[in-house]
Each structure stands twice: as structure tokens, then as C-alpha cells.
């Protein structure tokens, strides 16, 4: 996802391609692909059985990639990232857990705002525009 996606989202022009697919299969595939991008982290899938879902496989994949990329970026001195899925009622919960710098509780209500970046003394070490989570929540 990029700045062009932000423009499409803001104008209501984002196009979705709905299909039925295995979400856990997608998560496992992405975890394997993302593993190639980091030598410092072991990406560990923890997937529970879930039914196939109907959605835009590529866009959902972009969301998962963004969360894993953030986990890699913001936990440089750690060695693992856990990607999990859990089925509850008619919902599937996907979680990406890293053991990095974290986000202070006082900042949680801002993290999905456009261009928002957590401020702090070490901010300069983590490049970015502050668009990733904004795009994901749209």
C-alpha cells in the first residue's frame, strides 16, 4: 500500500476483489515470504483452524504484510515475531506480536491517524511517513 492507495481511499475509489480463500493459508504464505526479509527474526505462525473467508485476498495480504513489516522494523534487537489467528463466533482475530519498543498507552488513540508517528527520543532511527496504520484501518 502506498500514497496512491491513500488517495483512492479518501476519494472512495478503492476497488476490492472479493473471493473465498483460506486466511490461514495466506498468513502462512506471507510469514514464509516475510521470513526472507529478515535474518534477525524468526517469524512464527500460530494458526487455529478457521473456515474460509470471503474478502479481497490481496488487500488483506497487504494488511498482514504491513503489520509484520512494522514488527520487524520496530523490534530490531529482538529475535521473534508471532503471527496468530483465532476464530471466535463469526470473527477471525489476527494478531502480530513483536517484542520491540511498543507504543505507549497514551498514544494508542492516535496510531491510526494519517501521518501520525509516535514521538520520542529514538524516533529518528525508524523511518516512515506515518501512513501504514492509517491505510490499514481504512
What per-residue confidence (pLDDT) applies to 130?
Answer: 62
Does the pLDDT of residue 124 top 80, yes or no? no
Q: CATH classification of 3-102, choosing from 3.40.440.10, 3.30.565.10, 3.40.50.300, 3.40.1080.10? A: 3.30.565.10
Whole-number Å distance between alpha carbons of 103 and 36: 26
Q: What is the mean pLDDT of residues 69-98?
A: 91
Label the pairing between strands 80-88 and 18-21.
unpaired
CB 76 within 8 A of CB 40: yes
Q: What is the mean pLDDT of the chain?
A: 82
Q: What does pTM read for this prediction?
A: 0.79
Whole-number Å distance between alpha carbons of 26 and 28: 5
pLDDT band at residue 115 under the 50/70/90 scheme: low
Whole-number Å distance between alpha carbons of 104 and 115: 17
For the chain, the structural domain boundaries read: 3-102
Amino acid at each position: 500500500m502506498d500514497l496512491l492507495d491513500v488517495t483512492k481511499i479518501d476519494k472512495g475509489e478503492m476497488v476490492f476483489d472479493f473471493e473465498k480463500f483460506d486466511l490461514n493459508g495466506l498468513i502462512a504464505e506471507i510469514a514464509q515470504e516475510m521470513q526472507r526479509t529478515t535474518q534477525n527474526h524468526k517469524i512464527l505462525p500460530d494458526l487455529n483452524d478457521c473456515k474460509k473467508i470471503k474478502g479481497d485476498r490481496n488487500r488483506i495480504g497487504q494488511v498482514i504484510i504491513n503489520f509484520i513489516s512494522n514488527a520487524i522494523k520496530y523490534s530490531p534487537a529482538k529475535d521473534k515475531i508471532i503471527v496468530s489467528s483465532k476464530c471466535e463466533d463469526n470473527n477471525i482475530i489476527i494478531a502480530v506480536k513483536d517484542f520491540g519498543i511498543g507504543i505507549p498507552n497514551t498514544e494508542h488513540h492516535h496510531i491510526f491517524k494519517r501521518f501520525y508517528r509516535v514521538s520520542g527520543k529514538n524516533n529518528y532511527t525508524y523511518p516512515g511517513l506515518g501512513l501504514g496504520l492509517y491505510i490499514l484501518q481504512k
